[in-house]
Every structure is written in structure tokens, then in C-alpha cells.
Structure 1
Amino acid sequence: MVDAVRFAGGWLFDHVMAGGEVLVLTADHGDPRPLRILGARAVDLECALSSPVQGPWPPRAIAAGADSCGSDARVRRIVLKAIDDGLADVRLWGDQDTADLGGGVGSVRHRLSVAARAFKAHALAAAAASSCDGGTATETFRSGESLRASGGS
């Protein structure tokens, strides 16, 4: 949950402000307050992935930690399906190799709104995330566009 706030918190907040419903699937059963500060809702990963009703599909946007794609086959399937379908804005954060998702050499930066920077800073403080700068103006992701363009399967 802290990684979602740290690496994608501003992007999540900006999606909420644009009218989107933002759900964060997490195995972390910690305090959901940092996500609520961003306007997002924490949903238990196990419950969401095992539920026969998995919400609106396709989602309009997906952000995931690259380590989640590498360690959980279910998350990986969701990300690959979204990339293959081309209907969702897919963004990955983290340093784990995603070459088998189709490359990942390209990156995309999201310029955070002033409000996103402020809310992200408050969310990080609520998460007690040390050594994090919530005031950065951009967040960097590997984009599904670049993943798909490089031949993802």
C-alpha cells in the first residue's frame, strides 16, 4: 500500500479528481487511511482476485508494481490482458525486469497537479513513509504503450 502511494499516489489522486473510481488491490492489511486521503479505496487483493465478479472490465487504467507482476501470476494475467486488449492505460513502477511483458524500455512521466502533490505528501505522512518526497512534480512509469509497441505477449 505504501508503494502505491509512494510511486503512483499523485497519478491516483489525479484520476480521482478527473472523476474516476480508483481501487487499489493490496495484500497489505495496514491502515487504509493513506489511500483514502488520495480518494482511492483499498480492496483486499485475495478477495478481489478470487471473486467471480471482478468489477468493471476492462478498467480504464492500471498501475502496478513490477514486482507484483513478477510474483503473482494473477496480477500478471490482468496486466497482460490489459496490454493485449489495448483498452487500458497500463503503467508499471519499480525496477524489476519486465522484459517478458514486452520490453519496458519506454517510460512515461505523469506531471502531478499541485493538489496531487499536496495530497500525496499528506498520504505519505499518514503512511509514515520515511525519506519520501511527496512534493515531486512527476511520477515515472513504464507505459503499457511502450510495452505493447515493443512486442508484448
Structure 2
Amino acid sequence: MRYRLDVVAPTVVDAVRCAGGWIYDRVMAGWDVTVLIASQDDLRPLHILGAQTLDLQSVLDEWEDRPHPQTVAVAADLFDRDPRVLQHVRNALDQGATEVTLWGERLPAELDDSVDAAAHHLSAAARAFKSRALAAANDPGADSVDVSETFRCGMMASVAADLIPAS
């Protein structure tokens, strides 16, 4: 059985900017990575990173029938847009069987005690592929990819050896 990571993002650019290096590194480690996108963007940047893509709305409509991933990563911006996203994150944190990773500035206060700061240090290849994906998305940050990406993470003691507590 291969590990699965589902990434939930409002746009392709947001997913690549905030988690693109981590997506690439997980794909290269043998994970099945699917990015669930809320917009109708060009998906090529995510394919450059090796991720599969699905429409977020169709997945939310059939959430209970979908196999649960080992890790789910969610952009906090989506909590205000669709209450089902927040409910699924709450359920995952309560059940403790799925690692929950979040990014963004506007986390609901109720989640603050459930998640801690974490970072992923990108491999050299991840930085190169993230830069290429950002360029494909016409993002001005394509030439200055950071060496790490920061998240808020619940259930740190899991399959996520690539996420370390941020200090």
C-alpha cells in the first residue's frame, strides 16, 4: 500500500507557492499526491510537481466514499468558503488517524490548540521543480524559492518524518 496525501487548495498557484516543494518531495518518496483544486486553473504547474489533480467540489460531494489519506493538507482560506472543508479537518483531528497539515494566516481559533508549527526543508530537486512550476503559473516568485515551507500540523508523530517542528 502506498501512502496518500490529499492537498486542498483554492488555486493552483496557492498550492504551488505554499506547498509545492513538499508535494514534489512526497511524490519522489513514493506517495500518491492528489491536489483538490477549487478553481478552474491551468493544472500544468501541479503536474510538473508530479501531483494528480481533482476538482474539489466533486470530491466534497462524495467525501465519505473516498478512501481516507494518511495526510491531508489544507489552505486555511478554504474554511470560510465551504464549511464542509472545516468539518472534515475537525473530524480528522478528532479521530487522530490522519495527519492534518494547514497553511495560511487565517486559522479558526478552535484549531489553534490542535496544531503546532512545522516546517519542511525542500530538497534541491524540489526547489528546482517548484521554481519551474511557479514559472509555468507566471508567478513572479519563480526565481526566489525558499529552502523551506512552513505549516501548522496536527498529529506530528506519524508518517510525516519530512515535517519537523518549527522553532
Instruction: Report the TM-score, using the length of structure 2 for normalisation.
Output: 0.79
1:51-70 matches, within 5 Å, as 51=62, 54-57=65-68, 59-70=69-80
Match of 1:127 among 137, 149, 166: 137
Task: Look up the equivalent residue of 1:94 and give its one-letter code.
Answer: G
Aligned to 2:102: 92
Percent identity, aligned pairs only, is: 47
| Alpha carbons of structure 1 residues 52 and 63: separation in structure 2 relative to 1, 3 Å | closer
Unpaired runs of 5+ residues, structure 1, are 147-153
1:20 maps to 2:31: yes
Unpaired runs of 5+ residues, structure 2, are 1-11, 157-167
| Alpha carbons of structure 1 residues 56 and 134: separation in structure 2 relative to 1, 3 Å | farther
Aligned residues: 145
Give 1 or 2: higher strand fraction: 2
Q: 1:96-138 CA distances to partner (integer Å, 9 max, x unpaired)? A: 0321224367310111111111111111111111235552110
Instruction: Report the TM-score, using the length of structure 1 for normalisation.
Output: 0.85
Q: Secondary structure at the match of 2:30?
A: coil
Report the Cα distance in structure 2 between the residues aligned to 1:52 and 1:97, rounded to whole angstroms: 22
Conserved 8 A contact 2:22-2:122: yes
Q: Secondary structure at the match of 1:122?
A: helix
Conserved 8 A contact 2:134-2:141: no
